[in-house]
Protein backbone atom coordinates (compact mmCIF):
# COMPACT_ATOMS: atom_id res chain seq x y z
CA UNK A 1 0.00 0.00 0.00
CA UNK A 2 1.21 3.50 -0.89
CA UNK A 3 -0.04 6.81 0.50
CA UNK A 4 0.38 10.01 -1.46
CA UNK A 5 -0.05 13.29 0.39
CA UNK A 6 -0.47 16.44 -1.67
CA UNK A 7 -0.12 19.86 -0.10
CA UNK A 8 -0.59 23.20 -1.76
CA UNK A 9 1.58 25.91 -0.20
CA UNK A 10 -0.01 28.25 2.35
CA UNK A 11 -1.39 31.73 1.55
CA UNK A 12 1.23 33.87 -0.19
CA UNK A 13 1.94 37.49 -0.94
CA UNK A 14 1.03 38.68 -4.43
CA UNK A 15 3.62 38.31 -7.14
CA UNK A 16 5.22 35.72 -9.36
CA UNK A 17 8.40 33.72 -9.23
CA UNK A 18 10.41 31.72 -6.75
CA UNK A 19 10.89 34.36 -4.03
CA UNK A 20 7.27 35.17 -3.11
CA UNK A 21 6.89 34.74 0.69
CA UNK A 22 3.93 33.63 2.76
CA UNK A 23 1.53 36.15 4.23
CA UNK A 24 1.00 36.28 8.00
CA UNK A 25 -2.21 34.32 7.35
CA UNK A 26 -0.15 31.73 5.45
CA UNK A 27 2.25 31.35 8.36
CA UNK A 28 -0.70 30.75 10.71
CA UNK A 29 -2.17 28.22 8.24
CA UNK A 30 1.10 26.26 8.18
CA UNK A 31 1.46 26.37 11.98
CA UNK A 32 -2.10 25.02 12.29
CA UNK A 33 -1.29 22.30 9.76
CA UNK A 34 1.62 21.24 11.94
CA UNK A 35 -0.84 20.45 14.73
CA UNK A 36 -3.04 18.43 12.35
CA UNK A 37 -0.08 16.41 11.10
CA UNK A 38 0.88 15.60 14.70
CA UNK A 39 -2.71 14.77 15.73
CA UNK A 40 -3.19 12.47 12.73
CA UNK A 41 0.16 10.78 13.34
CA UNK A 42 1.27 11.24 9.74
CA UNK A 43 4.76 9.95 9.12
CA UNK A 44 6.25 10.85 5.74
CA UNK A 45 8.99 8.62 4.34
CA UNK A 46 9.86 11.15 1.66
CA UNK A 47 8.99 14.83 1.25
CA UNK A 48 9.45 16.61 -2.07
CA UNK A 49 9.11 20.36 -2.10
CA UNK A 50 9.14 22.92 -4.89
CA UNK A 51 12.11 25.32 -4.80
CA UNK A 52 9.75 28.27 -4.30
CA UNK A 53 10.14 30.18 -1.04
CA UNK A 54 6.43 29.85 -0.27
CA UNK A 55 6.52 26.03 -0.43
CA UNK A 56 9.68 25.79 1.65
CA UNK A 57 8.28 28.24 4.21
CA UNK A 58 5.07 26.19 4.37
CA UNK A 59 7.18 23.11 5.15
CA UNK A 60 9.22 25.00 7.75
CA UNK A 61 6.21 26.39 9.63
CA UNK A 62 4.40 23.04 9.39
CA UNK A 63 7.36 21.49 11.23
CA UNK A 64 8.36 19.20 8.37
CA UNK A 65 11.93 17.90 8.33
CA UNK A 66 14.21 16.18 5.82
CA UNK A 67 12.76 17.98 2.83
CA UNK A 68 14.10 17.27 -0.65
CA UNK A 69 13.87 20.34 -2.85
CA UNK A 70 12.86 19.18 -6.30
CA UNK A 71 13.45 21.73 -9.07
CA UNK A 72 10.92 19.96 -11.31
CA UNK A 73 8.00 20.82 -9.01
CA UNK A 74 7.99 24.57 -9.71
CA UNK A 75 5.57 25.28 -12.56
CA UNK A 76 5.15 21.53 -13.09
CA UNK A 77 2.18 20.19 -14.98
CA UNK A 78 0.33 17.23 -13.49
CA UNK A 79 2.24 15.11 -16.02
CA UNK A 80 5.47 16.45 -14.51
CA UNK A 81 4.24 15.48 -11.05
CA UNK A 82 3.47 12.00 -12.32
CA UNK A 83 7.05 11.64 -13.56
CA UNK A 84 8.38 12.57 -10.12
CA UNK A 85 6.02 10.11 -8.40
CA UNK A 86 6.92 7.29 -10.81
CA UNK A 87 10.59 7.80 -9.93
CA UNK A 88 10.07 7.53 -6.16
CA UNK A 89 11.85 4.79 -4.26
CA UNK A 90 9.43 1.91 -3.69
CA UNK A 91 10.77 1.55 -0.16
CA UNK A 92 9.05 4.87 0.58
CA UNK A 93 5.38 4.16 1.25
CA UNK A 94 4.27 7.61 2.44
CA UNK A 95 5.15 10.40 0.02
CA UNK A 96 4.37 14.08 0.58
CA UNK A 97 4.60 16.57 -2.29
CA UNK A 98 4.43 20.28 -1.49
CA UNK A 99 3.64 22.26 -4.60
CA UNK A 100 1.39 24.67 -6.38
CA UNK A 101 -1.94 25.09 -8.12
CA UNK A 102 -2.96 24.11 -10.71
CA UNK A 103 -0.78 20.97 -10.72
CA UNK A 104 -1.70 19.76 -7.20
CA UNK A 105 -5.50 19.94 -7.68
CA UNK A 106 -5.20 18.54 -11.22
CA UNK A 107 -3.29 15.47 -10.07
CA UNK A 108 -5.83 14.86 -7.30
CA UNK A 109 -8.65 14.93 -9.85
CA UNK A 110 -6.67 12.56 -12.06
CA UNK A 111 -5.67 10.08 -9.33
CA UNK A 112 -8.73 9.98 -7.09
CA UNK A 113 -11.30 7.33 -7.90
CA UNK A 114 -14.62 8.62 -9.26
CA UNK A 115 -16.29 7.67 -5.95
CA UNK A 116 -13.68 9.64 -3.98
CA UNK A 117 -14.10 12.69 -6.20
CA UNK A 118 -17.88 12.44 -5.81
CA UNK A 119 -17.51 12.43 -2.01
CA UNK A 120 -15.02 15.31 -2.17
CA UNK A 121 -16.50 17.21 -5.12
CA UNK A 122 -15.72 20.53 -3.43
CA UNK A 123 -12.05 19.93 -4.30
CA UNK A 124 -12.89 20.49 -7.96
CA UNK A 125 -14.38 23.89 -7.07
CA UNK A 126 -11.10 25.25 -5.75
CA UNK A 127 -8.15 23.84 -3.88
CA UNK A 128 -7.38 26.41 -1.21
CA UNK A 129 -3.85 27.26 -0.10
CA UNK A 130 -2.54 24.96 2.66
CA UNK A 131 -4.97 22.16 1.85
CA UNK A 132 -3.58 18.68 2.50
CA UNK A 133 -5.04 15.58 0.82
CA UNK A 134 -4.19 11.93 1.40
CA UNK A 135 -4.82 9.40 -1.38
CA UNK A 136 -4.30 5.69 -0.67
CA UNK A 137 -3.35 3.23 -3.41
CA UNK A 138 -3.38 -0.57 -3.23
CA UNK A 139 -0.04 -0.93 -5.02
CA UNK A 140 3.53 -2.00 -4.21
CA UNK A 141 5.32 0.25 -6.70
CA UNK A 142 4.88 3.94 -7.43
CA UNK A 143 5.16 3.04 -11.12
CA UNK A 144 1.75 1.31 -10.80
CA UNK A 145 -0.05 4.40 -9.51
CA UNK A 146 -3.49 4.85 -11.06
CA UNK A 147 -6.71 5.34 -9.13
CA UNK A 148 -6.82 5.66 -5.36
CA UNK A 149 -9.14 6.61 -2.55
CA UNK A 150 -9.11 10.00 -0.86
CA UNK A 151 -8.99 9.13 2.83
CA UNK A 152 -8.18 12.52 4.35
CA UNK A 153 -8.60 16.19 3.44
CA UNK A 154 -7.62 19.09 5.67
CA UNK A 155 -8.47 22.59 4.53
CA UNK A 156 -7.05 25.57 6.39
CA UNK A 157 -8.99 26.88 9.36
CA UNK A 158 -8.07 30.50 8.52
Q: What pLDDT sits at residue 150?
A: 95
Question: What is the CB neighbour count within 10 angstroms for residue 135?
Answer: 23
Q: Report yes or no: 150 and 133 within 8 Å, Cβ to Cβ.
A: yes
Residue 62 predicted with pLDDT over 90: yes
Q: What pLDDT sits at residue 76?
A: 85
In degrees, rounded to 5, the angle at the alpha carbon of residue 3 between the alpha carbons of residues 21 and 92 is 90
Q: What pLDDT sits at residue 119?
A: 82
Alpha helices in 41-113 (DSSP H): 53-61, 78-86, 103-111
- Cα dihedral 100, 102, 105, 108, rounded to 10, equals -100
38 pLDDT band (50/70/90 cuts)?
very high
Give φ, ψ of 99 to 5 degrees. -145, -145
Q: What pLDDT sits at residue 21?
A: 96
Rounded CA-CA distance 98/17 in Å is 16
Q: What pLDDT sits at residue 151?
A: 95
Average the pLDDT over 92-120 and give the result.
Answer: 91
Q: Is 2-14+29-154 CATH 3.90.1280.20?
A: no
Domain ranges of the chain: 2-14+29-154
Average the pLDDT over 113-139 and give the result.
Answer: 88
Amino acid sequence: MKKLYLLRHADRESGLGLNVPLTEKGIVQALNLSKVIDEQGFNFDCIYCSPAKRTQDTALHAGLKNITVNEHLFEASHEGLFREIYNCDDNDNNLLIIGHAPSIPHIIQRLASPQSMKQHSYLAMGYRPCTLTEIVFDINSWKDIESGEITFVQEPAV
